[in-house]
Amino acid sequence: MCDPQSILHDRVREALVVAFGAEMADADPMVRPSDRADFQANVALGLSKRLKRPPRQIAEALVSSLRVEDVCERVEVSGPGFINLTLKNSFLGECSSQQLRDPRLLVSLSSQPETVVIDYSAPNVAKEMHVGHLRSTILGDALARILSSLGHHVIRQNHLGDWGTPFGMLIEHLVDLGEQRASEELGVGDLNKFYREARAKFEQDPSFADRSRLRVVQLQAGDEPTRVLWQRLVHESKRYFGEIYAQLDVSLTDEDVCGESFYNPMLADVAEELEQRGLATVDDGALCIFVPGFSSREGSALPLIVRKTDGGYGYAATDLAAVRHRVKTLGATRLLYVVGAPQRQHLSMVFSAATMAGWLCPPARAEHVEFGSVLGADGKMFKTRAGDTIKLSDLIQEGVERALAEVTLRFPELDDETRRRVARQVGVGALKYADLSNDRVKDYVFDFDRMLKFEGNTGGYIQYAHARCRSILRHARLRPEPGPIEIVHPAERTLALVSLRLGAVIHQVAETLQPHTLCSYLFELAGALSGFWHDCPVLKADSELVRDSRLRLVELTSRILDHGLGLLGIQAPERM
RNA sequence: GCGCCCGUAGCUCAGUUGGAUAGAGCAGCGGCCUUCUAAGCCGCGGGUCACUGGUUCGAAUCCAGUCGGGCGUGCCA
C-alpha cells in the first residue's frame, strides 16, 4: 500500500513518539491536503497546551525527529506551527504506478467488515413512485454499492408498503374492474389512476366503503381468496417497480423486497414481549411505549403506538419487528434507514424503544440516513402545475429525452442504437448525480436545465472526462506496457495527488454516509484532468517515455472516474 | 407552545469534522478551436458566512440567545 497521506500520517505519529514520548501515540497527526504544499500536518498547534510550549517550537522539534527523506522533497515549518510537506516527484510517481497496478486502485478493504442492512426505496403497492422515492432509492443504492465495495456484507431491504387499511378498497376496486382490466391498468404503470379511482369510490359510495372495511378484516384474517387478490396487486406493482429500477440502474431486485406484510406474523409477539418487559402499557385503549424525552403538543409524554385501540398494529410495531429481525435473524450490526427527514422523530423513538427492549445493543446500532425534500424552481415542494406529485417514470423519460436531443445534436453520425444507449446513460446519470451531489440533509432544487448542461459539478461533466480518457486510449492503438509513471509537470503532480485520495474519500463516505463528498472528489479529479489536457500533450508528447507515462496516468484517471461513477450507480460511456 | 433541521456571491451549491487569504458552477465582462473531444480551458468583477454575544493561539464550523424558512408534535404509513 502506498497512499502518501497515510504514510505521512504514520511518519508524523512516529516522530511524535520520538520527540515527546509514547503517550503522544494517541494524538492525531492531522495530515491534510494543503494549498501551500502537497500536505500539511496541523498537530503541533493543538499540542501547545498539552505540552506547555509554543506551537512553533513543537513543530520544529517534531520536524527534527521526522524521518521522511525517502518520500519528501521539502519539509518546512510555517506560520504559527504548520508543517508543510512536499513529496518527491519520484515517490509520487511510484505511488501512482502502484495505484495503476492495483485492481482495487489502492482502496483498502474495511478493517472491520460487518453486516449492514440498508432500508431504502420503499414504494407503496398500487401507488406511483414519485420524487420522494427517488432520493431514497438513489441514495440507498449508492450507499449499498459503496459499502459492499469495501467488503461489508450488505443486505438490501426494500420495505414495500404492501399492507394496511387502504388494501381493502384496493382489493374491492380490483374485484370491480375484473382481474383482466386491473392487470392491464397496473401493468402499464398507471398506478395513480387505479389508486385514485379506488379512493374516489371509497369516499362517495358507502356500500363500497363497507365492502372495503370488511375486506381488510378478511385480509388480516388470512382469508384465502382475499389473499390471492392481494397477491395479485403486490405482484403487478413489484413488476412495475422492477421496470423503474432497471431504467434507473438501481440494483434492487425482487429478492430484496421485504415488505410490511412480512412482519405481520411477528407483531403479536413483539407486542407481547414489550408488555411482558413492562415497556409497553395500555393508555387510552392503545398499547404504547413512552420513550423518555418526547412530548406531545399538550406537553404530555408522547407515545409510540404499538397497537391501536381497534386492535390493529401501527407502523411502529412493524418497524420494531424489523429492527429485531434485522439484528437477530439477519445478523446485522449496522442498520441504515434511508428515509426522509420528517420521519426523524419517529425513527428516533423506534431506535430508543428497540434499545430499551434489548433488541438493539452494541455492536449493533441504527442510523437514520435522513434526506431533505426535492423542491421546484419556486423553492416549494416539487409538484406539477396542478399540484400533483410528479411520477418518477415521467421524470426518467424527460431526462432521457432531453439527453437524446443533446446527443443527437452533438453526434449526428452515431447510429440510432448507440445514440439511444448513450442518451440513456447520460440522462439517467444526470438525474442521479444531481441528487447525489447535494448534501442529502438539505433540501435541493430540481432543475433539468442545470443538471443536463454538463458544465460544473454534473454527471455529464464527469462522464465526459471519462470518455475523453477512453478516446485517447483508443487513439494510442498500442496499450503502454506496464511501467513507471514519471511525474514531471505540475499538472501531472496535481492529477496524481488527487487520484491518490480516492481511498480516503470512499472510506469517509462509508463513515458519514454522504455520497456528495465522492461527487465533489470526482469533480475535482475531472478538473485536474482538464488542467492536464491543457498543459500536457499525451499522444504528441516529446518522447516515447513521456508519452507512455502520460498514457498510464490517463488510464489510471479513467479507471478512477469509471469506478467512482459506478459506486454512485452511474454508467460511464466509452464515447460521447 | 415545545422539539428537530436549515440559513455561505445575484442564482444553484461546496467548504476534508476547529486551521493559514472562505471556494466551484451558472449568470455578467474579456480572452482561447488548421492543435489527442470547445459538452472544454484561462482571466476579471462579485462576501458583515442571517444577526448578537461567548469558548481559544485560531470559528463559516463548537456553545447560548435573536430573527427568518421548513418539518414534526397519540391511534395514516
Instruction: With beta carbons less than 8 A apart as the criterion, state whether A525 and A494 touch.
Output: no
> Which residues in range 141-170 of chain A are in contact with strand B, contact meaning CB within 7 A of any of its atoms?
161, 163-166
Task: Write the CATH number for A64.
Answer: 3.30.1360.70
Whose C1' is closest to the CA of A472: which nucleotide?
Answer: B36
Cα–Cα distance measured from residue A81 to residue A424, given in angstroms and rounded to the nearest whole number: 52
Distance in Å, residue A509 CA to nucleotide B9 C1': 28
Q: Write out the E strands in A51-194.
A: 72-78, 82-87, 115-119, 153-157
Whose C1' is closest to the CA of A283: which nucleotide?
Answer: B74
| A401 shares its domain with A528 | yes
> Which residues in range 190-229 of chain A are in contact with strand B, contact meaning CB within 7 A of any of its atoms?
none
Domain assignment present for residue A253? The answer is: no
Cα–Cα distance measured from residue A429 to residue A249, given in angstroms and rounded to the nearest whole number: 9
| A350 shares its domain with A478 | no
Domain assignment present for residue A102? The answer is: no
Please give the distance of CA A242 from its chain centroid, rounded to a whole number: 19
How wide is the angle at C-alpha A476 spanned by C-alphas A474 and A482, nearest 5°?
A: 105
Q: Which residues pair with A75 in a beta bridge?
A: A85
| A156 shares its domain with A286 | yes
Which bases in strand B are touched by protein, i.e. have an atom under 7 Å from a CB?
1-7, 12-17, 19-20, 24-26, 35-42, 56-58, 70-77
Q: Is the CB of A49 under 7 A from strand B?
A: yes
Indicate the pairing of strand A444-445 with strand A31-33.
unpaired
**Reported ipTM:** 0.95
> Which residues in range 333-362 of chain A are in contact with strand B, contact meaning CB within 7 A of any of its atoms?
341-346
| A146 shares its domain with A197 | no
| A157 shares its domain with A203 | no
Cα–Cα distance measured from residue A519 to residue A505, given in angstroms and rounded to the nearest whole number: 10
Q: Which domain holds residue A241?
A: 166-248
The residue type found at A23 is: E
> Which residues in range 290-319 of chain A are in contact with strand B, contact meaning CB within 7 A of any of its atoms?
295-300, 302-303, 305, 308-310, 312, 314-315, 318
Between the CA of residue A114 and those of A150, A159, A491, what are the distances in Å? Answer: 10, 21, 39
- Taking Cα atoms as reference points, which of A461, A460, A408 lies closest to residue A430? A460
Nucleotide B32's nearest residue (CA vs C1') is A534
| A430 shares its domain with A329 | no
| A151 shares its domain with A285 | yes
Determine phi and psi for A445, rounding to 5 degrees: -90, 120
Q: Is the CB of A40 under 7 A from strand B?
A: yes
| DSSP annotation of A381 | B
Task: Write the CATH number for A435.
Answer: 1.10.730.10
Distance in Å, residue A366 CA to nucleotide B62 C1': 25
pTM of the shown model: 0.95
C-alpha cell belonging to residue A262 = 412480512
Cα–Cα distance measured from residue A495 to residue A547, given in angstroms and rounded to the nearest whole number: 16
Distance in Å, residue A214 CA to nucleotide B10 C1': 59
3-state secondary structure at position A351: helix
pLDDT in tens, chain A (576 residues): 579 999 999 999 999 999 998 888 888 999 999 988 999 999 999 888 888 888 899 999 999 999 999 999 999 999 899 999 999 999 999 999 999 999 999 999 999 999 999 999 999 998 889 888 999 999 999 999 999 999 999 999 999 999 988 899 999 999 998 877 887 777 666 777 888 889 889 988 999 999 999 998 899 888 999 999 999 999 989 999 999 999 999 999 999 999 999 999 999 999 999 999 999 999 999 999 999 989 998 888 999 999 999 998 999 999 999 999 999 999 999 999 999 999 999 999 999 999 999 999 999 999 999 999 999 888 888 988 777 888 899 999 999 999 998 888 877 777 888 889 999 999 999 999 999 999 999 999 999 999 998 889 999 999 999 999 999 999 887 676 778 899 999 999 999 999 999 999 999 999 999 999 999 999 999 999 999 998 899 998 888 889 999 999 999 999 999 999 999 999 999 988
Whose C1' is closest to the CA of A457: which nucleotide?
Answer: B25
| A148 shares its domain with A273 | yes
Instruction: With beta carbons less than 8 A apart as the criterion, state whether A125 and A174 touch.
Output: no
What residues contact residue A298 under an 8 Å CB cut-off, 6+ apart?
none
3-state secondary structure at position A366: strand
In the Cβ-directed half-sphere of A473, how many Cα atoms lie within 13 Å?
Answer: 21
Q: Write out the E strands in A229-380.
A: 280-283, 286-295, 301-307, 334-337, 365-368, 374-375
